[in-house]
Chain A
């Protein structure tokens, strides 16, 4: 079962993570409400635990934004103060007492994941398309046309994983995150490395 733990107190988060992982939960920690919303929208978490007072975006605003976007999975609030419960599935009083927390967590169940339907023809058509894109990338890298290069990387990032090519999508995501920090003189080198990694993904 996957938990998202949004809490700006790092030590508290580490403690929770340790204890929860012993019980077999997978935990991702984020330090503010903004990141909590972004992560929750991946729909990979069965349960969200949300601190209320957090920087950037507080826990109540984060919950409200998620609910507005149709997020219907359980969200637990954690707070030392009184919290209006509307929108939360449960409000836990801080400081958290582990035995009680453990009991409460046990009430929530893992949510079965819906598989994406992917007809073979569509998968194959996309694969051919992806191969073409990688070839185009090689040409654009030679020309040092980085604007078009990154536009294609962005496209791969957004689509590859849906077509059973998650590793390719991850490579693109990673490159996109790093790109702004790469000095102009090192772009060709980084792009070449990316293209080698793409080929290693075996676009059969």
Chain B
């Protein structure tokens, strides 16, 4: 009997208080995943409009990739970043901010962020991050997928 292999779908969490930004990001991620030569392209999207929803969604879904706005209405994305990295250290977190000071960038990296996008979003900025994610994910030790049906 052939054993079925569980295919784990990758999860992306988008955290931004502005719905338009999340939609824009999602549209462009989908477009880039299908157009560009990236290894990982099957994704499930989750969205959160504030820090508390983001933390809840993150702990339930444990996504592989997160776009996290630093300036959230009910808290700092930087604090959230630390929690995310505690819950899932290998998670690839991209900080997003309208404030491009180097202090912001350095604090993000020190807290475990993999990358940083300075708003406004452009196609080039998003693609650069996806390519980086692709390289990063490819280097991660692969989890051996457990067969869904165990042979007796």
Contacts and interface: CB of A to CB of B under 8 A. Distances in A.
Contacts, number: 100
A29 to B, nearest CB: 18
A57 B103 CA distance: 12
B131 A70 contact: yes
B55 interface: no
B102 A37 contact: yes
A95 B76 CA distance: 46
Contacts of B109: 65, 68-69
B39 interface: no
Contact of A38 (B18, B100, B123): B100
B23 interface: yes
B48 interface: no
B102 A119 contact: no
Contact of B105 (A69, A115, A125, A126): A69
B124 A43 contact: yes
A15 interface: no
Contacts of A59: none
Interface string B72-89: 000000000000000000
Contacts of B132: 69-70, 72
A44 B128 CA distance: 12
Interface size class of A (residues with CB under 8 A): 35 or more
Nearest to B29: A117
Contact of A70 (B102, B122, B129): B129
B105 A129 contact: no
B123 A113 contact: yes
B129 to A, nearest CB: 6
* Residue among A68, A69, A111 having the largest count of chain B Cβ atoms under 10 Å: A69
Interface of A: 34, 37-38, 41-44, 57, 65, 68-72, 111, 113-119, 122, 125-126, 129, 154-155, 157-163, 169
25 contacts: A41-B100, A41-B105, A41-B118, A43-B125, A65-B105, A65-B106, A65-B109, A68-B109, A69-B105, A70-B129, A71-B128, A72-B128, A113-B122, A114-B122, A116-B28, A117-B28, A119-B27, A125-B20, A155-B18, A157-B98, A157-B119, A161-B120, A162-B24, A163-B24, A169-B120
